Amino acid sequence: MNKLDVATAPREFGNVIDWLLANLDRLAIGAIVAAAIVGIMLVMRWIGNRILAGDTEVLGWKGIIGRVLSKTSVLFMVAAAVDIVCTYTDVPPKLARLADIFFIIASTLQVAIWAREVIIGMIRARVGDDPASSTLGNAMAIIRVLVSVAVFAIAIIVILDNLGVNVTALVAGLGIGGIAIGLAAQGIFSDLFAALSILFDKPFRRGETIRYGSGTDVTIGTVERIGLKTTRLRSQTGEQVIMANTKLLEQEVRNLAEAKVRRVALTFSLTYRTSPETLERLPAIAEDVIKAVKTAKLVRCIPTAFAPSSIDCELVYDDRTINPDTLAHHKADVIVGIARAFVREKIEFAYPTQTTYTAAPDGTLVMPWAPPIDRK
């Protein structure tokens, strides 16, 4: 330390003492206000921790508010206290500017943290009680990273803009970089957004049986896993089917697990020798058969058309069973029951036939079946 520094030190110290004495009342008021605000924020953070109570997976707005309050940082509290004290006192411009910069940085980062927790909390609430079984349960880590990068990138731009830095070129560069990354990873992002679409729209969930495709290219399978890029299904024949999320949503998807009832239609044909009275009794006969299946209800059993060699009929019933194997067993029970009823009622099933009529020398027709026997 040279002689000039030794000579000016007491004078600078005296200036500080004079400043403190001149602003003593303002410092006291600022300190009291700052302490009160910091105390309120500490209480709010304590309330947030109490809401979570060791369970960070609390869902709904209660969980969101708890996580937001618990993420209030001490750095933000200190920056708010310093800025309040500087507001109430007549500090030098340089010191006031440093306090403002400190508060801008701390408050912007704190708002980014709160925004991230709100967004993640809303997504978690959308998932439900079992996030591990959904798309988001598998994608939560990468979604949290993407949300964090987005909110903190915005926060950094806001900080630089408030510090007087020209951020136009930075924003333009980030935009061009984002477009380049988006084009390079277009397929990955399309499947990722398709996975998120499955999450929010919920056309199906893990464990449900779906059918997709049309025409002859139809696949039925049980959803085993919904990933970021693909959905894995277990087909009815046993093999695993891996389908890209984008391709899956482009097709017609039928969620068989969401059906309240299954409508089953059975077609059969009767011979033209069946009497009209028998045709009228078909609903009653079918009703007796359907009653044996407790989960089934008859819709109709009626003749539908005159075919070349038969009278075509249709039996339709609703079954509340959704299990495919049980549904197949019920269908078999109905078929066997109809066959037994028709044997009992002497109703003949038709099959493709041609009947040839011949004529006697006198021109009378000879019937192709034996005449009824008169047993009197």
| Residues 34-92 pLDDT 10s | 788 778 888 888 877 777 775 555 566 677 787 888 888 888 888 888 777 777 676 67
> What tens digit of pLDDT does each residue of 295-347 get?
999 999 999 999 988 999 999 999 988 787 888 999 999 999 999 999 999 99
| C-alpha to C-alpha distance for 52 and 66, rounded to whole angstroms | 6
Length of the chain in terms of residues written: 376
| C-alpha to C-alpha distance for 184 and 192, rounded to whole angstroms | 14
| pTM: predicted TM-score of the whole model, two decimal places | 0.51
Highest mean pLDDT among 25-34, 113-122, 286-295: 286-295
> What tens digit of pLDDT does each residue of 51-62 get?
777 555 556 667
3-class DSSP state for residue 277?
Answer: helix
| C-alpha to C-alpha distance for 182 and 180, rounded to whole angstroms | 5
> What tens digit of pLDDT does each residue of 96-132 get?
788 888 888 888 888 888 888 888 877 777 655 444 4
State the pLDDT confidence band at 171, using cuts at 50, 70 and 90.
confident
Segment among 153-157, 167-171, 229-233, 320-324 with least mean pLDDT: 167-171
Q: Which of 341, 369, 372, 367 is nearest to 270 (CA)?
A: 341
* Complete domains list, the chain, with CATH: 14-184 (no CATH), 202-258 (2.30.30.60), 262-345 (3.30.70.100)
Please state, rounded to an integer, the average pLDDT across all residues of the chain.
Answer: 78
State the pLDDT confidence band at 3, using cuts at 50, 70 and 90.
very low
Residues 20/26, Cβ–Cβ less than 8 Å: no
**In this structure, what token pair is assigned to residue 205?**
């969930």
Amino acid residing at 350: A
Residue with tokens 């009992």: 344
Residues 266/315, Cβ–Cβ less than 8 Å: yes
| Residue 374 phi, psi dihedral angles, 5° rounding | -85, 110
The beta strand positions in 174-239, using DSSP E, are 209-214, 217-226, 230-235
Q: Which residue has the higher pLDDT, 196 or 343?
A: 343
Q: Within 13 A of 143's CA, how many CA atoms are on the CB side?
A: 22
Asked if residue 13 has pLDDT above 50, the reply is no
| C-alpha to C-alpha distance for 194 and 226, rounded to whole angstroms | 11
CB atoms within 10 A of CB 10: 9
Residues 325/333, Cβ–Cβ less than 8 Å: no
Query: What whole-number percentage of the chain has pLDDT above 90?
Result: 19
